[in-house]
Amino acid sequence: MSEIRDYNGQGRWSREEIERRFRSYAKAFGTTVKELNPRVFEEGSTKWIYPLIEEVIVGIRQGDRACIELGVELIEDSDSMPFGVTLKSNAAKALRHSAGHLSEDHRRRIRKRVADMLIGQYMPREFVQYVKLARTIGFDEELDRVRSEADLTNRWVRHYLERLTGIDDSKG
């Protein structure tokens, strides 16, 4: 093998850090520690190692509590990473489909993250999925804060607030 292309992130989202946190959460939650293995593709003398977070997303869909914790942490993080938009969108989708497995703390953290992003006018492409997730789990607890702290003259803030509530705040 002459070339290895490892698409795992650095620091907090490196393969090693994800594995370490996964083992720690699995132990804390009393769940069975399964191996997380990144997807690998080899062709000729090149080996591609895809982000381990893909396996975490599979675990979220299966209701794995350690994976759910990692997924919530992922959407709370604003840092860039390889395939970040896709991974964060897919994590939010998986969390939405596994909403019944989310603890009240997870729900609170997700609502807070979405509210903070609206208030900070930080709405990257994956934000659409965050809004769908927040709408699924309920957003009422953060509505007053968003309405008082966010710039409601910003059309995108209004757009996403309407998606969260189903109410058009610009009409009276």
Q: What residues are paired with 48 via a beta bridge?
A: 5, 41
Nearest to 145, CA basis, from 171, 172, 108: 108
When pLDDT is cut at 50, 70 and 90, the band that residue 168 belongs to is low
Mean pLDDT of 26-37: 83
Whole-structure pTM over 0.75, yes or no? yes
**What is the predicted pLDDT for the residue at 172?**
42
Sheet harboring 3-6: ordered strands across? 3-6, 46-49, 40-43
When pLDDT is cut at 50, 70 and 90, the band that residue 125 belongs to is very high
